[in-house]
Chain A
């Protein structure tokens, strides 16, 4: 019954994805807990996925969806490895935050 005042166009999806991406970036910059940092990266990946899918529909190209498929696979692998690293680091230093892992200090 709710008459569609406006039809969500591709642009809306893209803008939404952009917003999600931005939130993810800000999260990466602000959060100090390594795991939450990782989650924000996942947000960014999802934003990208959403962009691809929206454009796949708009351009009528199935390739966009295939790309998303691959992104998901690689994201999974990345999470696995990343968490493995976090586990091995935090085992030694249980309360470490992203600021404490500063071995690259010049």
Chain B
């Protein structure tokens, strides 16, 4: 069963990824990205990371990709780019070298070191009424709020900064055209607020 799940999810992931990099229309690429993100969410569940799977779908697929689509529509960059040739001639060969090299070496390292992975922590578990272990979300919460509480606070600060910063960045210079600017400035901040709330849940 697990094998089947893995293969399907892997297919989704890889298919979506390839779609992102090969589709010339940006909207198509965004949709392929969603496919990939869903695949990853499935694999999260398979790895007993239920909470993260939920967050993945809500935040990544639900907010971030939506943001992407908003911007694509807003700016009208929906024209397809020509992928036939690359203006910088050296780019494709370099990309090939980098791709092959990365895969080879990271893969090689993984395979080499697979025997060194041993259990060492307290273990993780899904929410289950039958066992006496804590549920996954409870475990994450315990870890987060005891070991990483400062980092947690800092990320909330980070989000505020990101929101404020983006408003400033995207603002149109000058008071004229305020109506337009509030509309375009409004959308990123609103979605940022949504992202904010989603993350804090």
Question: Is A in direct contact with B (CB under 8 Å) within the complex?
Answer: yes
- Contact indicator B60/A61 (Cβ below 8 Å): no
Q: Is the interface of B mostly helix, strand, loop or mixed?
A: helix
- Contact indicator A91/B121 (Cβ below 8 Å): no
- Contact indicator A50/B43 (Cβ below 8 Å): yes
Binding site for B on A (CB under 8 A): 2, 4-16, 18-27, 29-36, 38-40, 42-43, 46, 49-50, 53-63, 65-66, 68-70, 72-81, 83-88, 90-91, 94-95, 97, 99
- Contact indicator B68/A87 (Cβ below 8 Å): no
- Chain A residues, Cβ within 8 Å of B110: 11, 14-15, 18
- Contact indicator A11/B111 (Cβ below 8 Å): yes
Q: Is the interface of A mostly helix, strand, loop or mixed?
A: helix
Residue of A nearest to B163 (CB): A80
- Chain A residues, Cβ within 8 Å of B43: 13, 16, 50, 53
- Chain B residues, Cβ within 8 Å of A2: 1, 3-4
- Contact indicator A79/B64 (Cβ below 8 Å): yes
Binding site for A on B (CB under 8 A): 1-4, 6, 10, 13-14, 17-18, 20-21, 26, 29-30, 33, 36-37, 40, 43-44, 46-49, 51-52, 55-56, 59-60, 63-64, 67-68, 71-72, 74-77, 79, 81, 83, 86-88, 91-92, 94-96, 98-99, 102-103, 106-107, 110-111, 114, 117-124, 136, 139-140, 142-144, 147-148, 151, 155, 158-159, 161-163, 165-167, 169-170, 172, 184, 188, 191-192, 195, 199
- Chain A residues, Cβ within 8 Å of B139: 62, 65
Residue of A2, A6, A20 most packed against chain B (CB within 10 A): A20
